[in-house]
């Protein structure tokens, strides 16, 4: 597995119909899984605090953003030992699944929320590593439209 360590990434998250617009810069590690598949890892501690809310009482909150990238589909997972984890799945022209797992009490099982997302546009530029990812999608809960979004990742 080839490793291309510590690439700077710029991640933009924009809603086209809600007042949401966030841009961050962070360091990431890229692993090549095979000829067309890559993993990109972002450590939560390296992200600006405004992205992931943490309580002042729990300084042990840690998480990892893991991207599985291919030219045809992208999955993004945020794994945490805290109270929130989630996974997004995008593939152009397909209704993917977005799942949020909530755990408010460590002695209780996690509760899960499932949404659908319809990927209108997915483009992954690689040369030889991913350099640019653009995803345009809609979020749905049953028949309720939860907004349209653009996720853009630039990797230097």
Span 33-70, pLDDT tens digits: 888 899 999 875 545 444 444 444 444 446 688 999 99
- Top pLDDT among 43 and 142 is at 142
Please name each of the domains of the chain with its CATH number: 2-53+61-155 (2.40.128.20)
What does pTM read for this prediction? 0.81
What would the DSSP string read from start to end of the chain?
-EEEEEEEEEEEEEESSSS-EEEEEEEEEEEE-SSS-EEEEEEGGGS-TTTS---TT-TT--EEEEEEE-SSEEEEEEEESSSEEEEEEEETTSEEEEEEEE-S-TTS--EEEEEEEEEEEEEEEESSSEEEEEEEEEEEETTEEEEEEEEEEEE-
């Amino acid at each position: 597995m080839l490793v291309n360590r510590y690439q700077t990434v710029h991640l933009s998250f924009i809603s086209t119909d809600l007042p949401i617009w966030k841009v961050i810069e962070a360091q990431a590690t890229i692993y090549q899984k095979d000829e067309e598949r890559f993993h990109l890892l972002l450590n939560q501690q390296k992200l600006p605090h405004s992205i992931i809310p943490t309580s002042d009482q729990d300084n042990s909150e840690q998480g990892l953003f893991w991207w599985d990238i291919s030219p045809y589909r992208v999955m993004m997972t945020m794994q945490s030992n805290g109270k929130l984890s989630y996974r997004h799945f995008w593939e152009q022209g397909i209704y993917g699944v977005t799942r949020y797992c909530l755990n408010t009490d460590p002695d209780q099982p996690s509760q899960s929320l499932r949404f659908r997302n319809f990927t209108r546009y997915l483009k992954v530029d690689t040369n030889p590593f991913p350099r640019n990812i653009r995803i345009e999608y809609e979020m749905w809960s049953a028949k309720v439209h939860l907004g349209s979004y653009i996720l853009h990742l630039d990797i230097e």
